[in-house]
Structures are given as structure tokens and as C-alpha cells.
């Protein structure tokens, strides 16, 4: 039995991942705003510290972390809050638990990116830059200048790029900790259903093409996450794995930079 920490575990992909890992006989310490082993608000520095401390009180060793907590960009959603939860909340949890991950003698972190990185044109790249620089105040201020729908992909790109940049360093793989990310497309969750009701952006939820002609299920993303947490994915470091029914492949049959 291994011990994992999953944030955003009360619903959606986080709940599906928690259920699958527990079905396989592993222990999962859940983190969320409610209905969790550790109740904490990842949008604030104090809440992130509480989340890390809460997990630490429950275990000396963590074999994997899956920061699923996130906010979708939609009409009326605070763009700065999207930055704080999606990027800084996720990274703070992972960084805070790094000693517990190192103690496992082989651990894995799976970050939740999104295919909106490549499917949504014109998103706010400067927000991602500020995130990667670790400047939350600047990232929040910059995000506040645009609609949250253009900030969401920026936070997800920053997570994927952070995993690639940090994953190959001594602080992480040097301690036996693999960092990877998954990039889902449209997934049938309560978050997606709420987005469909958005008067401005709702019509775009199902506008992107898929080869399979349907949204993904949270259990399908959970299966991929479980694989990346397992020893079977031991060669994967800094990878960004798209699980979007073919949307990215349809939109970008020849990814930028290939053959350059």
C-alpha cells in the first residue's frame, strides 16, 4: 500500500482519482475546501501552509501528489483567484510535501494541465511568465486585466512548463521524484456542466472537435493519473500527456517545433 495526497478530491477528476487509488488498495489523503481529510483553502498562503501541515500530520511518507484543485475560467470568475488556486496552490502543495516525497525513495507528482494550452488562441502568456517567475502578486495583477477564460490556459501552461523545468533538476528527480502532467480536454464533470451554462463561453465548450465524438470521463483521466503515479511509468519525467479524444492532434497535426 502506498500513500498519496490528492487536492480537489471532493469532486471531478480528483474524486475519480481518489476512488481509483483506494480501489487498488492505496491510502489517499484528501485535501479540499470541504468533505476532505484536510480542509484547507489553497488560494491563500495560510491555507496552503495548513494543507501541507495537515498532510504531514497524517503521514511521514508520501508516494505521490496529485493537485487537482482548480477553477475554470468563466464569466464573472475572478481572474486573480484562478491564478492563485490553479498555479500557486498546486505548486505550493507539491513543494511543501517535497521532503515527504523524497522520503518515499521513489515518488511521483502528476499536475493537471489542460488541452486549452493549445486549443484556446490568444491566452495571456504574460500570466504564465509571472507564474513561472514565482511572482504571485504580479501574476494576479496581470491576470486581472483580462477575462478569466484567457487566464485559465495560462495557469495550466505554467503548470506543465513548471513540471518540465523543475522535473529534471536535482531537487526533484535527483531525489527520486518524477514530475509529469496530464492535459485533459472536455471532461464530464460538474465544473464542465457549470461552464456550459455560461452565457458567453458556454457555446464553446463542445465546439472543439474530437476524434471520438464525446467528452472524456473523469475515470478515464484518473486511470492515466494512476499510471503516471505507478512504477510502470518510471521512464517518464517532465512529460505532458494529452488525453483529449484527439482534439490537439486534429488542431495541430504537426506540433510547433517538431522538425525545427
> Is residue 10 situated within a structural domain?
yes
Domain tally, the chain: 1
> Known catalytic residue: 152?
yes
> What's the confidence (pLDDT) of residue 260?
57
> Is residue 50 situated within a structural domain?
yes
CA dihedral 238, 54, 18, 73 (to 10 degrees): -70
> What's the confidence (pLDDT) of residue 189?
77
Could you say which of 152, 161, 172, 242 is catalytic? 152
> What's the confidence (pLDDT) of residue 247?
95
Q: What is the pTM of this model?
A: 0.94
> What's the confidence (pLDDT) of residue 202?
65
> Is residue 45 situated within a structural domain?
yes
> Is residue 153 situated within a structural domain?
yes
> Is residue 256 situated within a structural domain?
no
Order of strands, edge to edge, in the sheet holding 3-7? 38-39, 27-32, 3-7, 64-67, 107-112, 177-184, 240-243
> Is residue 68 situated within a structural domain?
yes
> Is residue 240 situated within a structural domain?
yes
> Is residue 259 situated within a structural domain?
no
> What's the confidence (pLDDT) of residue 208?
80
Among 108, 96, 71, 102, residue whose Cα is nearest residue 86: 71
Say which CATH number the domain at 106 has: 3.40.50.720
User: Cα angle at 179 between 160 and 157, to 5 degrees?
Assistant: 5
pLDDT tens per residue, the chain (260 residues)? 999 999 999 999 999 999 999 999 999 999 999 999 999 999 999 999 999 999 999 999 999 999 999 999 988 999 999 999 999 999 999 999 999 999 999 999 999 999 999 999 999 999 999 999 999 999 999 999 999 999 999 999 999 999 999 999 999 999 999 999 999 998 987 777 776 677 666 676 677 889 999 999 999 999 999 999 999 999 999 999 999 999 999 999 988 777 75
Residues of the domain holding 147:
3-251
Amino acid at each position: 500500500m502506498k500513500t498519496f495526497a490528492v487536492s480537489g478530491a471532493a469532486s471531478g477528476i480528483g474524486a475519480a482519482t481518489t476512488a481509483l487509488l483506494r480501489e487498488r488498495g492505496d491510502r489517499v489523503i484528501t485535501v479540499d475546501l470541504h468533505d476532505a481529510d484536510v480542509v484547507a483553502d489553497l488560494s491563500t498562503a495560510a491555507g496552503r501552509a495548513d494543507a501541507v501541515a495537515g498532510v504531514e500530520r497524517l503521514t511521514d511518507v508520501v508516494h505521490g501528489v496529485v493537485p487537482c484543485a482548480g477553477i475554470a475560467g468563466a464569466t464573472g470568475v475572478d481572474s486573480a483567484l484562478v491564478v492563485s488556486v490553479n498555479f500557486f496552490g498546486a505548486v505550493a502543495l507539491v513543494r511543501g510535501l517535497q521532503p515527504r516525497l523524497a522520503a518515499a525513495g521513489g515518488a511521483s507528482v502528476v499536475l493537471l494541465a489542460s488541452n486549452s494550452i493549445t486549443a484556446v488562441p490568444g491566452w495571456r502568456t504574460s500570466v504564465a511568465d509571472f507564474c513561472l517567475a514565482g511572482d504571485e502578486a504580479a501574476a494576479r495583477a496581470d491576470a486581472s486585466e483580462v477575462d478569466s477564460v484567457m487566464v485559465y490556459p495560462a495557469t495550466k501552461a505554467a503548470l506543465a512548463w513548471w513540471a518540465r523545468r523543475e522535473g529534471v533538476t536535482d531537487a526533484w528527480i535527483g531525489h527520486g521524484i518524477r514530475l509529469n502532467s496530464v492535459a485533459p480536454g472536455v471532461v464530464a464533470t460538474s465544473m464542465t456542466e457549470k461552464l456550459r451554462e455560461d452565457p458567453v463561453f458556454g457555446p464553446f465548450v463542445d465546439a472543439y472537435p474530437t476524434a471520438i465524438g464525446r467528452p472524456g470521463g473523469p475515470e478515464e483521466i484518473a486511470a492515466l493519473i494512476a499510471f503516471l503515479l505507478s512504477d510502470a511509468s518510471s521512464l517518464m519525467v517532465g512529460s505532458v500527456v494529452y488525453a483529449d479524444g484527439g482534439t490537439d492532434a486534429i488542431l495541430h497535426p504537426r506540433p510547433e517545433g517538431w522538425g525545427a
